[in-house]
Structure formats: structure tokens, C-alpha cells
Structure 1
């Protein structure tokens, strides 16, 4: 049987064809595996962004809570440190004051055991063995008792300082975690918005804007001078940027704005929507008057200042600015009157 030989000239062509086919398959497979994300419409983008902004605001308010707790822990640590240092100086002075008769007693061998207890690591052991003071004069016994009491207070202060320092470190870690959460959610929101076309982003922004002029024209006058100052301050910030954890002068988060508005009226509030809700008298929705603080979501993560006619001023989110809008825009949680 005669086998026909494939023409030698076809081999390079066949090899090239196979390579081309493989390349086509590879490209096709690559194209199929790296598909572009489907284009979002404005409504779906708004839904996703609002969820992410809400999650970012929850983390922001937790961050604000942790920052308050950190300041408290740092204050407690500083106070106990100062108290321990003062107590240490007092112990040294008292031990020095009993040094003369302590040395004599040691030389005489009569009070060696007692003095060991006085200067031991466990000052309470001394007081438990109070009968060993019988050999001392009243004045000497009183001096030794002062040393032991001072040392006991020093140990308590040092222990408290260590506990407060641990609390400081824990709050610093919490701050770092919440900051990371805020930044992660805001980054995700930006990624969603970046998928919109320029025209869609313009639509998105137009839908978020409100014209405050018509809303402000018929607002009622607040009932008290303090409330009037708080409302006036908030209204003057309309158009300012939202920045998480900010409290002015030109950028705000929600609780930073309400805190500074009422500070202008002479009332001190914490920089936290949750803690602000715990301050002041609770009022119902039907009782609202200008100046009241209104809260949203459960757990509470947003606060605004009520200005009348069913409207509030608040710092909404990074895509928006301080604005005036209806209190019905978000899930209601309660209200307080500072």
C-alpha cells in the first residue's frame, strides 16, 4: 500500500493554523471569563449606595462612641497615674519618717518581723498582724500604720491605672476597626457610582438636591431663645460638606452638626447620635417643635435637628451636603428635647 506523503510545504501552514485557532480559543475563553459588570440604572445605583452609606454611617457613629470612650479611658488613666505618683511620694516620705526607729529596732532585734511586714510586698499582711504592734509606742505604731495604709492605696491606684490603660488600648483598637469599616463602605459606594455614566451621575445628583429657599420661607419661629439659636446655627450650615466624624466649621457628620448647633445655644451634647438620644427629654412625633432632635434607624445611627413643618436639617452622606428635608425620609426612631 502506497502512503501519500503530506506535502512538506503545508506543515508550517497547518502549524500556524493550529496556533491561530488556539489563540482564538484562548481569547474567546478570556473574553468569556472577564465580562464587564452589567450597566446599572440610576434607581439600582441609588438603592445600593444608600445601603452602603447607611452602613458607613452606622460605623461612623460607632467610631464616635469609641472616641468618647477613649477620651474617658485616657482621662481615667491620667488621673490614676497622677494619684499613684502622689501616693508613691507619700509612701517614700512616710517610710523615711519611720526609718530612725526602724533601724534601731532592727539593730535591737525586737521588731524585725514587724518591720519586714511593713516593707513587704503585701501591706495588708501587716494590718492583719496588728498584735505585733504591741511592742511599739503609740506614736511609732501610728507612723507604721500610715505607711501600710499609704502603700495599700498605692497598690490600688497602680492596679486601677493598669486597668484604665488596658481600656485605652482596647478603645484604640475599636477606633481602628470602625475607621476601616467606614472607609471600606465609602469605597464600595464610590465603586458603584463609578459604574454610572456621566449622564446618570448627573441624574443621581439632581435627584438628591433640594431647594431650601421655598422650605425656609414659612418655617415657624422656635419657642425658646435657646432653640432659636440651635436652629439658626443649623440653617447657616446648609450647603456644607458631609465628612464622617467631622464637627465643623465647614464639614459635618450628623451628630457633629447637632452637637455644635446646641453648643451654640449653651447646651453640651456628646458627639454621638446614640448618646444624644440618652440626653434630654423624650418627646413624641406629635409633640415636635423647632430645635428638637430627631433620630432614625434601629439601632439609632442618624440624628437631625427639627426646624418645623415636618422638616429637619441634617448632614446626610458624602455624596450630599447639609440640607433641609422631610423627617419622613428615613425610618423614625424617636426624638428628644435638649
Structure 2
């Protein structure tokens, strides 16, 4: 007969091990799901992008300063090279003149003066010539001294030009590094923006447009006629794109807009926001008038034009355009009334 044995039941120990293993597997799966990176929200992306744009703008103002230095050095070098070229021409002429005098002296001074006087058939004529010869020697001495002075002056100019050329080479290297830094920040910002959906990007654009719509500038008068002309020129550029390093007339960065606007009013401002901060008298927020410059952040890396009624006209950041914003939308430092 066949044996009908009951199947062996698993021991309590085995059941406990299996249960613990299953529980551990469930826990690991749960932790893995929780560890999966979640997609950043619109606000998180916007905050990170704004930070990158701010860092890019800091680098842009430093780039602008280095570029301004480069242009100044190039002009100084060109002027020095022109001065050296003219000076060398003058030096060559002085040497030729000295050579002519030396030739004339040689022709008349080849014999001892006392013998020439003794042999001369006309002693009075010889004495006249001797006086002329003395004058010629004196002129030679003066000419030699002038030549030596000119040589020293030219060598100083050449040394100055060489120093400036070395400085220019370093400035160009510095420009390249700053440009790479700016482009790196902008590239990171673009990568972040590309993580947004089309709907999220549209929401950002609508929010920016709403912030600049229906701006009430009040009825305050400009600080001066020139300030009014500068503000009016900038208002004519509302909607022009922000481009780092641009000074108009079709695109601008922040200090590019303010310097261009005041140039239309006949006022020359320095290139960078930090330099423009010294272009006039400081003004507190309570005393701002339309056309005053408005400086932001502790390092003064952003600047705009006060437009009135708590509004500022500025070129804000890449991907945006010249527009109005609230005076308090950024860390305000002080205003500047251009003299």
C-alpha cells in the first residue's frame, strides 16, 4: 500500500526568516521610491535661475570694467606709438642738422687757428670766420644736448608703451576668463529652464508680463532737464532685449542702458554700474526723482533709472527686456543724482 504521510510543516524559525526577508524587501523598495529625485517645482527652478542670472550679471559688470580698461589701454598705446614715431622723425632731423654743422666745421677748421690767422691774406675776414666757428661749436653743443634729451624721452615712451602692451595682454586673458564664467552661468540657467514644461514656461512669462503692465509713474518732475531727457530716451527702449555687454542702441545690459540713456542727454557716464555710482550726489530712497540712477546689491552690480512713483526702469537679465520694476524688487543701496 502507498504511504499517506502528511507533508512536513515549515518550522516556526523558517516562517520568521521568510517574513523578515519579505518585510526587508518591501522596506528597500519603499526607500528606493522615496530616494528617486523629484522634479523641481516652477518656483524652485525660477529661484535657481534668478540666482544664476544674478551671478552672471556680477561677472558681466566685471567684464565691462575689464573691457573698458582694454579700450583705454589700446588708445594710450596708439597715442604713445604715434608720439614715438613723430619723435623718431624729429630725432633723425636733429641728427642730420648736427651732421651738417660738423661738416661745415671740418671744412673751415682743418688747420690750427693761429696758423690760419698768420697765413690769411685778410686777417679781419679770418677773425669774422673764427667767430662764426665759435658760434657753430656752441650750436653743436646745444644740438647734442637736445638730441640726448630727445633720446631719453623716446626711450621713456617706448618703455611705457611696452608696459602697457603687457598690461593689455593680461587684460585680454582676464576678459576671456570672465566671458567663460558668464557663458557658463547662462548655460546652466538655460539647462534649468529646459527642465520646465511648456505650460510652466508660459506661466513664468505671464508673471513677468503682469509685473510690468499698467505701471503708474505718478506726476513727479525729473531731477533735471538732462535727467528727464535720459529717462525719456530709456523709455523709448522698453522691450529691447537684455544682452550682456551690450550698450545699445538695440540691446543693453543694465549699465549699458543707463550710460546710453545719459549719452542721449549729452552726459558721458562711465561704463560700469560701480563707476556710475560715483557720477553724482547720493540720494536716499525717499528723495529719489525721475531720472536718478538707482543702485542695487552691496557690490553695486545692478543699476537702473528711477521712473517715479516707486518704479524703476532697467535692463534686468538675460531672456528679458528693458522694463519697469518696483524699486524694492531688489536690495536697494542708494540713488545717484547726476550733476
Please tell me the TM-score bracket, short chain as reference.
Answer: 0.7 to 0.9
Query: 1:207: how far off?
Result: 2.3
CA distance in 2, matches of 1:223, 1:91: 55
CA distance in 1, matches of 2:210, 2:171: 39
Query: 1:36: how far off?
Result: 8.4
- Give the number of aligned pairs: 282
Query: 1:105: how far off?
Result: 8.9
Q: Could you tell me which residue of structure 1 aligns to residue 262 of structure 2?
A: 262
Distance 1:234 1:210, change over 3 A: farther
What does 1:290-329 align with in structure 2 at a 5 Å threshold? 290-329=290-329
For the Cα contact (< 8 Å) 2:223–2:292, is it kept in 1?
no
Q: Could you tell me which residue of structure 2 aligns to residue 74 of structure 1?
A: 74
CA distance in 2, matches of 1:239, 1:36: 41
For the Cα contact (< 8 Å) 2:216–2:309, is it kept in 1?
no
For the Cα contact (< 8 Å) 1:243–1:251, is it kept in 2?
yes
Q: Secondary structure at the match of 1:298?
A: coil
Q: Could you tell me which residue of structure 2 aligns to residue 28 of structure 1?
A: none
State the Cα RMSD in Å: 2.7
Alignment of 1:284 with 2:284, yes or no, is yes
Distance 1:203 1:212, change over 3 A: closer
Gaps of 5+ in 1: 1-31, 108-135
Gaps of 5+ in 2: 1-31, 108-135
Deviations 1:144-190 (A, max 9, x none): 11111111111111111111211222222222111111111000000
Query: 1:241: how far off?
Result: 1.0
Distance 1:250 1:143, change over 3 A: closer
Which is greater in Rg? 2
For the Cα contact (< 8 Å) 1:228–1:291, is it kept in 2?
yes
Distance 1:41 1:262, change over 3 A: same
Q: Could you tell me which residue of structure 1 aligns to residue 181 of structure 2?
A: 181
What does 1:160-179 align with in structure 2 at a 5 Å threshold? 160-179=160-179
For the Cα contact (< 8 Å) 1:219–1:307, is it kept in 2?
no
Alignment of 1:233 with 2:204, yes or no, is no
Bigger shift: 209-218 or 274-283? 209-218
Q: Could you tell me which residue of structure 2 aligns to residue 124 of structure 1?
A: none
TM-score by length of 2: 0.76
For the Cα contact (< 8 Å) 1:39–1:196, is it kept in 2?
no
TM-score by length of 1: 0.77
Deviations 1:305-334 (A, max 9, x none): 001111100111112221111111111222
